[in-house]
Amino acid sequence: MKKEFLMGSETIVKGAIAAGAQMMTGYPITPTTEIMEHWAEEAAKNPALKFLQTEDEMSAGFAMIGAILAGVKAFTASAGPGNVLMQDAFSMAENMRLPTVAFIGQRGGPSTGTVIYSQQELNLTCFGGNGEGLRIVYSTAGGQELYDYAIKAFNTAWKYRFPTFVLTDGYQNKTQSSVEIYQPQEKQVEIVSPTPYLLNPQKQEGTFTHIRNTYNLEQELADVLIDYKKHFTEITPEILEFEDYHTLDAEIVIFAHGIVAAAAKLAVDSLRNEGKKVGLFRPITLNPFPKESAINAVTNKKGILITESSLGQFERMVKSNIYPANTPIFTLKKPAVGIMPEEIIEKINQIFSEKGNNA
Amino acid sequence: MPETALPKSWNKESKPHKFCPGCGQALALKILGQAIDELDIQKKMIYATDIGCSLLSWSMFNVDTIQTHHGRTLPLSVGFKKAKPEAIVVSFTGDGGGYAIGAQHLLNTAMRNDPITVILINNANYAMTGGQLAPTTLLNQKTTTAPKGRELAQGKPFKGPEMLAQITSEDAHIARGISTNYQQLLEMYKKAISNQIEGRGFSFVEVIAMCPVNWHTDAQQSLDFAEIEMAKIYPIGELKCPQK
Ligand SMILES: Cc1ncc(C[n+]2csc(CCOP(=O)(O)OP(=O)(O)O)c2C)c(N)n1
Ligand code: SF4
């Protein structure tokens, strides 16, 4: 175990390697390009690591799938318009239960937008594609978490066989911080090994595997999806993660995810120093969403403040999950712009003085 | 093997196959089955198919098979090959999949000399969706989206192998065959796949194939359109063959 001072993208690559990742595919886009560059450097040093710079993100997504079918732990990283193009592949991964792993560095949208920061890829990452959103999405808050959740993402993907995402942003990817680099075994984390879908040497002699994504009959597809959903629901309790920070005695509970939750935490500390009872509920898994815990956190509170760097993608997610809770809801939403602890403090003070606007 | 017998590598449980009577793709796949048998690669290969009528072949062979998205068969194949270089990877796609929606993948795969074998069906239309204009539609040929026939303003018929021959390395194998010439197409397939096995790199066979349903042709007219009209525009033969 050792501490290293690393840029977020480098932390992600180190986490992926610790998780046993063997191959990366990708196409450059800010703010995830450095993930590719760091991986390319590692692959140049270590012949066991493979790398494909593809012609676009559709190719990166499908080449990742090809590698996974061969039984290799492959991953990709993208952002914004690249995330849009990759939905093609993620949708197939959802259809076929393929353990894709993608690091999504959110940038401003729609369109090319801005290149560094936003929280606007929540909808796309959690529910993109023409499917049911049977995906697992971790929203990290930078630093150490990038290492921890990089490892976790591969394990979750290969254990449960649902497409798995780590949702970051350019602030997280480009910030340097001190990170504890450990081998998973040191923390009793067992690494899940990959198995091939095609040309599996373990399969019975004389049998062949045919994998398709097209069905002849409506009912055939319905049966498959109902079965997938059942499995997703069954494994949900094992996957759910959230951070509950002083919500028990809080009068107002802030809802935030990702890097905004880090700002909200500072706001909570500062408000509590002034004797104001404020807490933070931060879902770490956005999909599946920690619904029961969120409902518990808002019951009998004076108000909820939902804050995000988007115009309401997270708000919609929170509201639909805590319904029918009737706690008053306030919001602080800034599309594609960071949120400072001071702004959250100001908003909370307004709510306490009952001047805040209901959402 | 007599031309009437089924290849050993065909999956008997999925027969009769799902292609229309008289379909050139079914013939092209039968010959592929024969090539798989003769090269004895059934257990060492994967077969990746596009969306288009090609999807009907998802359970055609007793070979590990993956059906992908429209146009995305090549990147998937390239990823598989990169991850497992000892596997033989055969990708099957239509001319819409290869020359339109997935054209950037074909171009880049060929340019990089990725060691996979691509078989592309040229039936001069988008068949699965009911016969629309394809990059390969002949001038004056009528389709549902070119009701007066293809005009020059809609582009010249696209010559894939000729373009690929220009951009690939000398190690690539590039050919155009026709589904009605059994022996010739069989040899082309075998050479193309051998090019991959022998580690030279990319190989590509375009196959002219009848689509009587969307051409609205009877048996003789179908043969004539493929063997005479199409072959006039799309010359049959090897464009690049590193193994002399
Ligand atoms: C992204 C996407 N766009 C459109 C379609 C609809 N579609 C299915 S098959 C096809 C055309 C296939 O034509 P081609 O590749 O020439 O194969 P063919 O059917 O002629 O064998 C289209 C457009 C699709 N499945 N996916
Ligand atoms: S529509 Fe044309 S290409 Fe498709 S199966 Fe029928 S004949 Fe073959």
Task: Indicate the top mutation candidate among B56, B144, B208, B213 to test ligand 2's pocket, ranked by most ligand atoms within 8 A of CB.
Answer: B213
> What pTM was estimated for this model as a whole?
0.97
pLDDT on residue B3: 56
Distance A85 CA to ligand 1 centre (A): 18
pLDDT at position A89: 98
Rounded Cα distance, A311 and A307, in Å? 9
Please give the pLDDT value at position B4.
Answer: 64
Instruction: Say which of A50, A65, A208 has its CB closest to residue B76.
Output: A65
Asked if the model's pLDDT at residue B107 lies above 90, the reply is: yes
Tell me which ligand sits closest to the C-alpha of residue B126. 1
The CATH number, out of the four listed (3.40.50.920, 3.40.50.150, 3.20.20.80, 1.20.120.420), of the domain defined by the range A244-358: 3.40.50.920
Determine the distance separating the centroid of ligand 2 and the alpha carbon of B101, expressed in angstroms: 19
The B residues from 3 to 42 touching A (CB cutoff 8 Å) are 11
How far is Cα A329 from Cα A312, in angstroms, rounded to an integer?
A: 12
Per-residue model confidence as pLDDT tens digits over A26-59: 999 999 999 999 999 999 999 999 999 999 999 9
Please state, for a pLDDT cut of 70, what percent of chain A lies above it: 99
pLDDT at residue A355 is higher than 70: no
Pairing of strands A329-333, A285-287: unpaired
Structure tokens at A239: 């996957």
For residue B209, what is the DSSP state? -
**Structure tokens that stand for A128 in this block:** 């993109």
**Ligand 2 midpoint to CA B36 (Å):** 23
Nearest to A69 among B11, B44, B66 (CB): B66
**Domain-by-domain residue ranges, chain B?**
18-240
B105 and B77 Cβ atoms separated by less than 8 Å: no
**What is the pLDDT confidence band of residue A77, given thresholds at 50, 70 and 90?**
very high
Whole-number mean pLDDT of chain B? 97
The best mutation among B17, B19, B230 to test binding of ligand 2, ranked by most ligand atoms within 8 Å of the C-beta, falls on B19
Domain regions of chain A by residue span: 2-187, 244-358
Q: So what's the pLDDT on residue A354?
A: 78
* pLDDT tens readout for residues B188-231: 999 999 999 999 999 999 999 999 999 999 999 999 999 999 99
Whether ligand 1 lies within 6 angstroms of the CB of B177 is answered as no
Nearest Cβ partner for A62 among B65, B67, B76: B76
**Residue A357: pLDDT over 60:** no
Mean pLDDT over residues A223-242, rounded? 98
Which positions ≥6 away from B133 have C-beta within 8 Å?
B125, B126, B143, B145, B146, B150, B154
Quote the pLDDT of residue A356: 54
Top mutation candidate among B101, B105, B137 for ligand 1, by most atoms within 8 Å of CB: B101
pLDDT bin (cut points 50, 70, 90) of residue A358 is low
pLDDT in the model for residue B243: 82
**Looking at ligand 1, which atom is closest to the CA of residue B54?**
21
Mutate to test the interface with A, among B78, B106, B112 (most CBs of A within 10 A): B78
Q: Does B64 touch chain A (CB under 8 A)?
A: yes
Checking if the pLDDT of A1 tops 90, the result is no
Of A62, A60, A77, residue with least CA distance to A16: A77
Q: Are A12 and A146 in contact (CB under 8 A)?
A: yes
Q: Average pLDDT in the A283-290 region?
A: 98
Task: Report residue B1's pLDDT band, with 50, 70 and 90 as the boundaries.
Answer: low
Residue B2 has pLDDT above 80, yes or no: no
User: Which range is least confidently modeled, A302-311, A350-359, B37-46, B61-70?
Assistant: A350-359
**Per-residue pLDDT reduced to its tens digit, B86-103:** 999 999 999 999 999 999
How many Å apart are CA B145 and CA A308, to the nearest integer?
A: 47
- Contact across the interface for A56 and B104, Cβ inside 8 Å: yes
B18-240: in CATH 3.10.310.30: no
Decide: helix, strand or coil at residue B124: coil
Query: Which residues is A5 bridged to in the sheet?
Result: A178
Question: Which of B11, B65, B87 faces A211 most closely, judged by CB atoms?
Answer: B65
Tell me the average pLDDT across A62-66: 99
Mean pLDDT of chain A: 97
Q: Report which secondary-structure segment, H or E, holds B178.
A: strand B173-178
Contact A251, A301 (CB under 8 A): yes
Averaged pLDDT, A287-301: 97
Residue A243 pLDDT > 70: yes
Between 3.60.70.12, 1.10.287.1770, 3.40.50.1220, 3.40.50.970, what CATH number should domain A2-187 receive? 3.40.50.970
Q: Is B46 on the interface with A (CB under 8 A)?
A: yes
pLDDT of residue B57: 97
Residues of A at the B interface, defined by Cβ within 8 angstroms = 22-23, 25, 50, 52, 54-56, 58-72, 74, 88-89, 92, 196-199, 208-214
pLDDT higher than 80, residue B137:
yes
Bridge partners of A7, per DSSP, are A176
Q: Looking at residues A132-138, what average pLDDT do you find? A: 98
